[in-house]
Structure 1
Amino acid sequence: MEVVIAPADELAVLAAAAIDALLRRKPEAVIGLATGSSPLKVYDELARRHAEEGLSFAQARGFMLDEYVGLPPEHPERYRNVIEREIASRVAWAPDRVQGPDGLAADLPAACAAYEAAIDAAGGVDLQLLGIGTDGHIAFNEPGSSLASRTRIKTLTKQTREDNARFFDGDVEQVPRHCLTQGLGTIMAARHLVLLATGKQKAEAVHQLVEGPISAMWPGTIMQMHPHATVLVDDAAASRLQLGGYYRQTFASKPAWQGL
């Protein structure tokens, strides 16, 4: 696991540069898309590169990490709409090339199985963007999730619903109680994981993610087992890291050609 500590704007540029390099090397690459606050600056930088430097998403595929269950198609916080608004429409990404789990399906288990099959049929995810919750969840794999789990329905914790209430006018009662989410096993099958975290409120989760024991109580810790995992954090999110000085030293000494 590589840990990079830098200001949030620099982290976004690093993540976007990794996606840029991938798409120029492999135009048909499969990108895993996250929602929430963490990837927004990355999407801004990708949109800039598309507009100013010709970065193309025309042949690429996108798969979302998760989706709320039951939000109507027009709801602005339905994750399919969030992804369309924040990245797909800004880079001329055709709607049929970006997929998410169907939170309105009549048969949710079947929809989850179909989503797993769609990812497999696309050849798997090349680069997966991730954020992390204050309780250590990645995607919507809440504490206690199976470390081998696949796409499924999950009940959101009180903490997660309170954290996400800011997207629903501050009203936690508007936040759905259930979601469909890629499982930890699904996420771990991606070839490169890139996680971003900023702010003091993420410090304990980042500490556990990077330096704690692997445990279902902190689901993100499964990333320690991934052969190519990158963790991008600002100073505040890194404030609990015991080896913060070492992470800074190793990144400063990294050959420029190596990338993330």
Structure 2
Amino acid sequence: MSMTASVTPGISTFKSRDAMGRAAAADILVAVRDRLTRQSTVRMIFAAAPSQMELLDALAGERNIDWRRVTAFHMDEYLGLPPDAPERFGAWLTRHFFSRVAFGAVHLIGQDPDPDREAERYATLLAEAPIDVICLGIGVNGHLAFNDPPVADLHDTKQVKIVELDAICRQQQVDDGCFPTLGDVPTHAITLTIPRLLDADRLFCVVPGASKRTAVERSLYGPIGPACPASALRMHPRCALYLDQDSTPPQLSLQTPARA
């Protein structure tokens, strides 16, 4: 994959979050089934966020697929929370999704006392075979995973690394109802880097809500660079973007009527 070429993601807009999530799930399931006809296992990475709930609910309700041949990962995790904290992304995904689907394996980012060692461990797991599908979103500040502007590195040499979260990213966690106050949100996290995310074969990006509209607009029409990390999605040849009416920027709504 070229890290400099710009392409336009396949964009679908919907009148509701539910329709958006169901459509994205249907496309993802087609991609997974196709791979299972050609290879023994499929490897997927998932984002942990309330914005992904409609998608995850639709995927979890699908029984006509051999999930035992699918290995699941997630893309980021807080540092500094207790191992049993419900706010941990691994715990959130387990509660809302991983416990509902009979995956062959689920690899969670752990809480090694040495975060750099944990980042290396997880990078090694990810590198054991190609990643087929990533289900992801875009942050209010345009972040991908926990790669926040302006320090996100679109050409990072690392696969997984430790990052400091910016104030907008941390406030989003409060606004999403994941933490009661800004002071409760950890300041650091482990994240997959942007090149690690872009190395997957297929990206399915689900972005609902009015709070994301500006980030979507900058991702699609602004410069590709660290000021809006999600602009890097335009460097991937097989990225599909799913929006609801609230997250669709005005210039796109004129071009792509929302589907029911």
- What whole-Å deviation, never above 9, does each CA across 1:108-127 have from its counterpart, x for those lacking one? 22221221221110x22111
CA distance in 2, matches of 1:119, 1:108: 16
- Deviation of the 1:175 alpha carbon: 0.9
Alignment of 1:90-101 (within 5 A): 90-93=100-103, 97-101=105-109
Counterpart contact for 1:151–1:180, Cα < 8 Å: yes
Partner residue, 1:12: 21
Where 1:4 maps in the other structure, the secondary structure is strand
Structure 1, unaligned runs of 5 or more: 253-260
Structure 2, unaligned runs of 5 or more: 1-8
- Deviation of the 1:78 alpha carbon: 1.0
Alignment of 1:170-209 (within 5 A): 170-209=180-219
Supply the AA of the counterpart residue of 2:242: L
1:146 matched to 2:160? The reply is: no
Report the structure, 1 or 2, having the larger helix content. 1
Partner residue, 1:109: 116
CA distance in 2, matches of 1:247, 1:229: 17
- Of the three residues 86, 101, 119, the one matched with 2:126 is 119
CA distance in 2, matches of 1:172, 1:243: 33
- Deviation of the 1:248 alpha carbon: 3.8
Partner residue, 2:5: none
- What whole-Å deviation, never above 9, does each CA across 1:183-229 have from its counterpart, x for those lacking one? 00100101111111111111110001111110101000011010101
- What whole-Å deviation, never above 9, does each CA across 1:48-99 have from its counterpart, x for those lacking one? 222xxx33311101110100112122111111111111111111235xx111
Supply the AA of the counterpart residue of 1:192: R
Select between 223-232 and 84-93 the one with higher mean Cα deviation. 84-93
CA distance in 2, matches of 1:205, 1:66: 20
Partner residue, 1:69: 79
RMSD (Å), alpha carbons: 1.9
Counterpart contact for 1:132–1:205, Cα < 8 Å: yes
CA distance in 2, matches of 1:112, 1:39: 24
TM-score when normalising by structure 1: 0.88
1:25 matched to 2:34? The reply is: yes
- Deviation of the 1:168 alpha carbon: 4.3
Counterpart contact for 1:200–1:239, Cα < 8 Å: no
Partner residue, 2:142: 136
Counterpart contact for 2:161–2:193, Cα < 8 Å: yes
CA distance in 2, matches of 1:231, 1:168: 24
- What whole-Å deviation, never above 9, does each CA across 1:124-162 have from its counterpart, x for those lacking one? 211111111111001000002110223101111111111
Where 1:38 maps in the other structure, the secondary structure is helix
CA distance in 1, matches of 2:138, 2:179: 22
Partner residue, 1:258: none
CA distance in 2, matches of 1:81, 1:171: 19
Counterpart contact for 2:21–2:55, Cα < 8 Å: yes
Select between 184-193 and 108-117 the one with higher mean Cα deviation. 108-117
1:161 matched to 2:170? The reply is: yes
Where 2:256 maps in the other structure, the secondary structure is helix
- Deviation of the 1:38 alpha carbon: 1.6
Supply the AA of the counterpart residue of 2:138: I
CA distance in 1, matches of 2:252, 2:86: 40
CA distance in 2, matches of 1:210, 1:2: 11
Identify the structure with bigger relative contact order (alpha carbons < 8 Å, sequence gap 6+): 2
Select between 104-113 and 4-13 the one with higher mean Cα deviation. 104-113
Amino-acid identity (%)? 27
Counterpart contact for 2:28–2:204, Cα < 8 Å: no
CA distance in 2, matches of 1:230, 1:48: 21
Supply the AA of the counterpart residue of 2:120: A
Equivalent pairs, count: 243
Counterpart contact for 1:23–1:57, Cα < 8 Å: no
Supply the AA of the counterpart residue of 2:145: A
